[in-house]
Structure 1
Amino acid sequence: MQLRALMYFDELVRTSSMRAAAENLNVAPTAVSRQIENLEHYFGTTLVERSNRGIRLTAAGELLAARAGRTLRELEHVHQLIDDLQGLQRGKVTIYANGATVANLLAPVLAQFSLRYPKLRFEVAITSARQAIEALASAEADLVVTLFAQKMAGVKVRLRSEITYELITWGNHPAAGRPEITLKEIATLPLALPDKTFGARQAFEEQFAKLGIELDPVFVTGSLEMLKELVLREAAVTLLPALTVQREVDLGLLAAIPISAGKGVRTAIDLCVAPDRQLSYAAGKLVDFIEAFMHGAEHAKTGSRSKKPV
């Protein structure tokens, strides 16, 4: 059986269309059809049923489809490991992350890492935590970064770091220069918060409820960029990890104010890998780089707070 035939079949399964598969593979539809026929001859059974409505996998086709994708990705992983013999001269790392907050935490890390290793390529998918873990199990992802995720079987937590949500205001907000702020004070401000499907929002609700405070945000959105934009336009304040807006804070456009008395929402951010699959050299280096970045950021934050006036 030729590897090409398996690749064509995998693309057909992904697109559910001979024409679409052919376009993605940059070949004629007849070439895709021919390779499928080769597979059917090899296995001695029909894999694909064709009709005017498109294609439908037979039971045998479904069985092959469930394994073909993983097989191809494992072969790609082996190819990556062979490339590793040449060091970080080429390679690709696929990362799945859940939530826009995680994406914004990853962005500065990947930017710095890419500048150091410009020949590497990266693919970042933003999904739910469950989809991210499933991608890791099916070998679609090299690394997974999760926030507010439940423990799941089949993953190994390679790195765990804690992040804290702080009050984010515009740069010249009256509270911007304060060393800390209370939850009661925050509740009186015009708030922009993520919707209740977000783990962070649920954690906020729980924290405020302990003080008998019911949150009544002015703005509710599932977009991190919208939250930032509303604060930049001085329409509201929000609660986010300072790292996600560090660039704006450094420019003086935004300010991050810690919540007093240890009442800020703190959560673990986990970097996960597959326990039974060796990381490529590039992926392993990225894990080390993320760890150093997170530890450095935490150290810098702790150091800056130790300098606060008493």
Structure 2
Amino acid sequence: MALRNMRVWRYLEEVARVGSVRQAAERLHLTPSALLRRIQDVESDLGAALFERTSSGVQLTAAGEIFIAWIKNHNAELRRVYSQIEALSGLRRGEIRIAVSQAVARSFLLEEMRAFRAQHPLVKMTVDVCDHATAMRQLLAYEADLILVFRPPHAAELQPLMSIGQGLVAVMAHDHPLATKPRLRLRDCLMYDLALPNADHAGRQLIDQVLAGGSLQPKPVIESNAFDLLVDMVRGTDIISFQVDIGAALWRQDPGLCVRALEEADGAYGPLVLGQLKGRTLPLPAARFGEQLARRLDERRSLPMDELAAHAQRQTKVRESEDVD
């Protein structure tokens, strides 16, 4: 019965997600009337309305909230069963869904995804690059198996698998006046125009937290949720941007850029956390990938900065050779 009803459950989830029967029908390649009949069939079976009309579409009723939560939980359990069945013949197929901060997406995570797929090429990976609050919401809604984010919001439901400390670094043009200093104070950076992530991002929140109550305030000339755009803005200018240390690996190898750590006295420091939903048994592919990420993060924690920089340079050369091939 569960397998036969999965399609209808997906229909209900889509309506709940977009808040419109018409828009959901378009995405599902159904007519609105056909989708509405499916909803009414389920409501008849349950003896309760799942949606109520609003001025902008539809929204879940209290009964609908309960039923959609049950669907998400049931789907997660079904994915785990599929994973166990596949495990009988080894880790060959399956899906890994992970929500990550931009800081780790193009450097650390990309490298680990390539390593994992080299061993398990049929495993599908779904990666959502987002802010830490969105990642947590996805984890709680069973839309992500794992999260890897900087300074995640506190939640009793989060089970950390590995956490390593990360400090903020300043990113600037190679000939910036501050590039001659080995480490910087945040107040020195505030004397220049800044390219900052928007308020949704943990790095920006950390900067605002450190500066709260002080006389100096940041002067952003650009704010964006795209870190690559922010760093491109600093090239050939006196603008400064910021990133967590692990996210600056590629930029350390860019001859046009300079990366400098901030002094520990500024307190611009926080945890990078790999986690899953507490009490949930992950599908085998996600569990194995989580174990791999935890090992690599633990290894990074014990490496000195010069070895991390050398490692990043080696990985850049590998990627360049792959592009040529």
Give the Å deviation of 1:18: 4.6
- Kindly provide the amino acid, as one letter, of the partner of residue 253 in structure 1: G
Aligned residue in 2 for 1:161: 164
Change (3 A) 1:114 1:49: same
Give the aligned partner of residue 81 of structure 1.
84
Q: State yes or no: 1:132 paired with 2:122.
A: no
Assess, with a 3 A threshold, how the Cα gap between structure 1 residues 178 and 141 changes in structure 2: closer, same or farther.
same
The answer for the alignment partner of 1:266 in structure 2 is 269
**SS in structure 1 at match of 2:183:** coil
In structure 1, the gaps of 5 or more residues are: none
2:72 paired with 1:69: yes
- With normalisation by structure 1, the TM-score equals 0.77
After superposition, the Cα gap between the structure-2 partners of 1:29 and 1:84, relative to the gap in structure 1 and judged at 3 Å, is: farther
CA contact (8 A) 2:176 2:238 kept: no
Q: Structure 1 residues 51 and 205 mapped into 2: Cα distance closer, same or farther (>3 Å)?
A: closer
CA contact (8 A) 1:143 1:283 kept: yes
Residues 178-217 of structure 1 correspond to what in structure 2 (within 5 A)? Answer: 178-195=181-198, 198-205=201-208, 207=210, 214-217=216-219
1:110-149 equivalences under 5 Å are 110-113=112-115, 115-116=117-118, 117-149=120-152
Are 1:39 and 2:48 matched, yes or no?
Answer: no
CA-atom RMSD in angstroms: 3.8
What is the CA deviation profile of residues 257-284 of structure 1, one whole-angstrom value per residue up to 9, with x for unaligned ones?
2234654621111112122111222112
Q: For the residues of structure 1 that align with 2:33 and 2:77, how far apart are their CA atoms?
A: 28
Q: Name the SS for the 1:272 alignment partner.
A: strand
Give 3-state SS (helix, strand or coil) of 1:146's partner.
strand
Return closer, same or farther for 1:197/1:48 CA change in 2, 3 Å cut-off.
closer
1:246 maps to a residue whose letter is A
In structure 2, the CA distance between the partners of 1:13 and 1:200, relative to structure 1 (3 Å rule), is: closer
Aligned to 2:320: none
Is this contact kept in 2: 1:187–1:213, CA < 8 A?
no
Q: Specify the alignment match of 2:251 in structure 1.
A: 248
Which whole-Å deviations, capped at 9, do the CAs of 1:144-191 have from their partners, x for residues lacking one?
A: 233233421122111101111122222344544543334454344443
Indicate conservation of the 8 Å contact 1:5/1:38, yes or no. no
- Relative distance call for 1:170 and 1:281 in structure 2 (3 A) is same
Gaps of 5+ in 2: 311-325
- Which entry has the higher C-alpha Rg, 1 or 2? 1
Could you say what secondary structure the match of 1:258 adopts? Answer: strand
The residue type equivalent to 1:125 in the other structure is D
Mapped to 1, the partners of 2:197 and 2:125 lie a distance apart of 28
Name the CA distance, whole Å, in 2 between partners of 1:265 and 1:7: 43
Q: 1:46 to 1:87 in 2, by over 3 A?
A: same
Contact 2:136 2:153 in 1 (8 A): no
CA distance in 1, matches of 2:53, 2:167: 54
Q: Does 1:108 align with 2:127?
A: no
Q: Which amino acid is the alignment partner of residue 71 of structure 1?
A: H
Alignment counterpart, residue 219 of structure 1, candidates 208, 218, 221: 221
Q: Distance in 2 between matches of 1:264 and 1:273?
A: 27
1:171 aligned to 147, 170, 174, which one? 174
TM-score in terms of structure 2 length: 0.74
Q: Provide closer, same or farther for how the CA distance between residues 15 and 180 of structure 1 changes in structure 2, counting only shifts above 3 A.
A: closer
Give the Cα–Cα distance (whole angstroms) in 1 for the partners of residues 26 and 231 of structure 2: 40
Distance change (3 Å), C-alpha of 1:167 and 1:153: same
Count of paired positions: 305
Paired with 2:96 and 2:217, the residues of 1 have a C-alpha distance of: 40
Q: List aligned pairs for 1:254-293, cutoff 5 A.
A: 254-260=257-263, 262-263=265-266, 265-293=268-296
Query: Which shifted more, 286-295 or 183-192?
Result: 183-192
Kindly indicate whether residue 237 of structure 2 is the aligned counterpart of residue 234 of structure 1.
yes
**Amino acid of the structure 1 residue aligned with 2:45:** Y
Q: Is the 8 Å Cα contact of residues 50 and 64 (structure 2) preserved in structure 1? A: yes
User: CA offset at residue 30 of structure 1?
Assistant: 5.8
The one-letter amino acid paired with 1:241 is V
Query: Residue deviations 1:277-302, cap 9 Å, x none?
Result: 11222112222222233334444443
Aligned-residue offset at 1:107: 4.2
**CA separation of 1:171/1:27 partners in 2, compared to 1, >3 Å: closer, same or farther?**
same
